[in-house]
Amino acid sequence: MIEKMLREKIGLNYDSIGRQNVEAAISMYMKKHGITDEKDYLKLISESDKHFEELTQAVLVPETWFFRYSESFAFLTQYAGKYLAGPHQPLHILSIPCSSGEEPYSIAMTLLNSGVPSGLIHIDAADVSGPVLEKAKHAVYGSNSFRGGIPETMQRFFRVKDGKYEVIQTVKKLVDFQKISIFDRNFSTGRPPYNLIFCRNLLIYFSKDEQIKAMAILAGMLTGDGILFMGHVESGMVSRRDFESVKYPSCFAFRRKNSRETTPFELHQEPAVKPLRPQAKLPAGKTLHKTQRFNIDPVTPKTVQNSDTLLKKAATLADSGNLQEAESLCLQYLDRNKLNPLAYYTLGVVNLSSDRLPEAEKAFSKAVYLDPGYYEALVHLALLKERQGEPAEALRIRKRAEKLITASKQ
């Protein structure tokens, strides 16, 4: 019954994150509250939003930071330039799940920095978790929210407060945070069509039926030429739902195939602006990162710049959802060069997008074997272990990845 409740309220599929993980969380909180009968615990979380959120917080691990997937924001900068060249209509944008706010604030900053008037920017940000939304509204962040650093042009949108970084009011007021699930019957009621929807790493928690339902909801909320941003693991799901890639490398942006208008971005083979790089400094003179090594971005033009054309083409095909072709090119590349961890990482992403978990695990493991400091591959391995019902192993790998982040800040 608890499983049914979680599925109906937030679309959670136990198997997506590992049934043992969810059951362990339920057992832990039953013990915490002195409950021995699962029916009594179901009654508790049904009647108390506080206790329901306590459980969902334990099973849904938010993973976000400012300007995550930097190529998406490079694309957004070009989108803003095109927007400013035409009639200035309000831009309506949705970020779901918005987690603790880093993504919607990054969107607002990018648009402001591109010259879009604040009065024309309207951002809705939705999540099912009350605690993370409170953090988002507070808008004060530590170094873990800046894994890619603060680009120099964006530093003006923050002020230092007690050794942390607070988003300025000009940006805060552009974002309307809402506690709601995509499957709430009132979710789309009264909302305007969105020009841009950022919905990254949400579908991975759903069953295939819920994924189809969520995609239909999102498609119905887009303007005719609206753009949908997804996580790289979800790109294969999107391409099978009457969407097509905008063909901008590594930004994982899609539009409906019957879109009224085409965008000019497929003409570009690489971003017209440089990927966002760390510029800001932490208190006491510590830099946010000594290197770019630990950015969790998918395969990007930056990461493949030293690889040959075959691997670059594989990454581009993976971005656009052409998974079979991408896999074929990865394997061709590995026939020539069996010691490139990036090639195995790319292959892992392709297999994960195709729901071929054993093959994905093997590829990511090989990437980590060749490069023990490959943070992205470690994070994906942890996700796989959770989905395969191995919480202890997933935790061990996550701790290993976290040590890399800690070491990069010292």
Lookup: tokens for 130: 């009350």
Contact criterion met (CB below 8 Å) for 65 and 145: yes
DSSP-derived secondary structure for 264-284: GGGG-SS-SSPPP----B-GG
Over residues 131-148, the pLDDT tens digits come to 889 999 999 998 888 877
pTM: predicted TM-score of the whole model, two decimal places: 0.63
Side by side, the strands of the sheet bearing 175-179 are: 175-179, 121-127, 91-95, 194-199, 222-230, 253-256, 243-245
Instruction: Return d(Cα 97, Cα 103) in angstroms, integer.
Output: 9
- Complete domains list, the chain, with CATH: 2-59 (no CATH), 70-267 (3.40.50.150), 303-408 (1.25.40.10)
pLDDT in the model for residue 64: 82
Contact criterion met (CB below 8 Å) for 326 and 317: yes
Over residues 62-119, the pLDDT tens digits come to 668 899 888 889 899 999 988 888 888 899 999 999 999 999 999 999 999 999 999 9
Average pLDDT score, the chain: 78
Using CA atoms, how far residue 16 sits from 190, 202, 211, 401, in Å, is 31, 11, 12, 21
Instruction: Return d(Cα 106, Cα 227) in angstroms, integer.
Output: 17
- The better pLDDT of the pair 132, 395 is held by 132
The answer, yes or no, to whether residue 318 has pLDDT greater than 80, is no
What length is written for the chain?
410
Over residues 251-298, the pLDDT tens digits come to 888 888 766 554 444 434 333 333 333 333 333 433 333 222 223 334
